[in-house]
Structure 1
Amino acid sequence: MSDPFLIGDTMTGGYGKGPDILHDCTVAVERGEIAVIVGPNGAGKSTAMKAVFGMLDVRAGAVRLDGEDITHLSPQDRVLKGMGFVPQNANIFTSMTVEENLEMGAFIRRDDFSGTMEQVYDLFPILREKRRQPAGELSGGQRQQVAVGRALMTEPKVLMLDEPTAGVSPIVMDELFDRIIEVARTGIPILMVEQNARQALEIADKGYVLVQGRNAHTGTGKELLADEEVRRSFLGG
């Protein structure tokens, strides 16, 4: 069996010299798939995402991208390998215009990136409309679109989103999920941490429920939504 396109394989680790937060935790995503990581607060969801992106020490286990072991690469080198990462907070340059934010996303490109920018504007039409506006003047949902658009400007092989719908209204959440589905349809695998577990599992090809840094349940989105224990413990019945 070959590996999934991106896998954090039986990761154990934590921050600096601190205790382990993850314990034999595995998360993975295939090409064109949406994989979501859900679970209660403090379950290690964002920590698992950061471990895959190289932001904390993986003391056991490995991270592999397209068959290559990248466990010891820096986050910057992982971006060069094709990982796009959108953190939950401080993920845009508020004083720059929307267009300047997108241009910043193309910092590793040496080719003409105008075609990619057009694709981002097609995906997020509101950004084309507001491209001359400072990103700090946008609504929360629009800022998230800028952040995702900026990550797409690197032409990533995989996109990682940490709580993309945090703090937005239900209507904006639905719209963001629609856009995320569109990105996945272009063939880019998406690994995402999401607080809105039920809605995230509804669009997920694969889901991971973490509890205290460990895998508690793994399955397709549909399987987890139908699992009585998962529903009772994590989805409010």
Structure 2
Amino acid sequence: MSYLNAADMTGGYGKADILHGCTLSVEKGQIAVIVGPNGAGKSTAMKAVFGMLPLRSGSVTLDGQDITALSPQDRVKMGMGFVPQVNNVFPTMSVEENLEMGAFIRHDDYRATMAQVFDLFPILKDKRRQNAGELSGGQRQQVAVGRALMTQPKLLMLDEPTAGVSPIVMDELFDRIIEVARTGISILMVEQNARQALEIADKGYVLAQGENRYTDTGQALLADPEVRRTFLGG
């Protein structure tokens, strides 16, 4: 069984279902990317996996344990880290304080983890006393990812981590995401820059109208002429 297995998820908001039998899985240390047009249900699928959206049917297992009924807080304790697209830092708190908030659920010495975050994102060490709200968009994203890593997640979920950043910053963030995966952490990511994201993906999911339209390796999806024509702009 995959490390994360979200099977046949159906659910939405109120009486309207957004997801219709959506299935996602991620292996240990793998990067899985969810792409698709606006309104495809990509972020909704992430929220369902994280427990922010009740499912009408389907299940979510993590490392073989059924977590479908768990709250987001309990899923974090189980090893999930989630970085939302917006409002993902405490702007009036320093970079270091933001990272410390990520360690709030821990009862051990987290300084070694903070050192690892600073190694991954050296600019954050330089700006650790600066308020997060004063940073550039790309630097705030680094703070948000770093705070999630402070929980020592086994699965890191990223909702459009490169939204609003420059192409250079996007490439840097993708490089850091690859580094995180190489440590054995599984990555599940929604990304608007579909072509670039699929280039680093072990597995890719193309969603449309809340359903799985295509599932394959990132390279296979990039090479599929129908995927390219319909979802990647040719």
Q: 1:93-141: CA deviations, max 9, x gaps?
A: 0000000000000000000000000000000000000000001010000
TM-superposed CA distance for 1:66, in Å, is 0.3
Partner of 2:40: 43
TM-superposed CA distance for 1:18, in Å, is 2.7
Partner of 2:6: 8
Normalising by the residue count of structure 1, what TM-score does the alignment of the two structures yield?
0.98
Matches of 1:43 and 1:101 in 2, distance apart?
Answer: 32
Matches of 2:5 and 2:123 in 1, distance apart?
Answer: 34
Aligned amino acid, residue 22 of structure 1: L
Aligned amino acid, residue 10 of structure 2: T
1:112 is paired with a residue whose SS is: coil
Partner of 2:154: 157
Alignment of 1:1-237 (within 5 A): 3-15=1-13, 17-237=14-234
Which residues of structure 1 form unaligned runs of 5+? Answer: none
Aligned amino acid, residue 65 of structure 1: L
Matches of 1:208 and 1:133 in 2, distance apart?
Answer: 38
TM superposition outliers: structure 1 runs of 4+ over 6 Å: none
Measured on the aligned residues, the alpha-carbon RMSD in Å equals 0.5
Aligned amino acid, residue 136 of structure 2: S
Matches of 2:16 and 2:232 in 1, distance apart?
Answer: 29
Matches of 1:51 and 1:182 in 2, distance apart?
Answer: 26
Q: 1:147-175: CA deviations, max 9, x gaps?
A: 00000000001100000000001111000
Matches of 1:36 and 1:18 in 2, distance apart?
Answer: 28
2:163 is paired with a residue whose SS is: coil
2:165 is paired with a residue whose SS is: coil
Aligned amino acid, residue 8 of structure 2: T
TM-superposed CA distance for 1:38, in Å, is 0.2
Kindly, what percent of the aligned residue pairs are identical? 78
TM-superposed CA distance for 1:182, in Å, is 0.4
Q: 1:44-88: CA deviations, max 9, x gaps?
A: 000000000001111111000000000011101101111000000
Which residues of structure 2 form unaligned runs of 5+? Answer: none
Normalising by the residue count of structure 2, what TM-score does the alignment of the two structures yield?
0.99
Matches of 1:56 and 1:119 in 2, distance apart?
Answer: 32
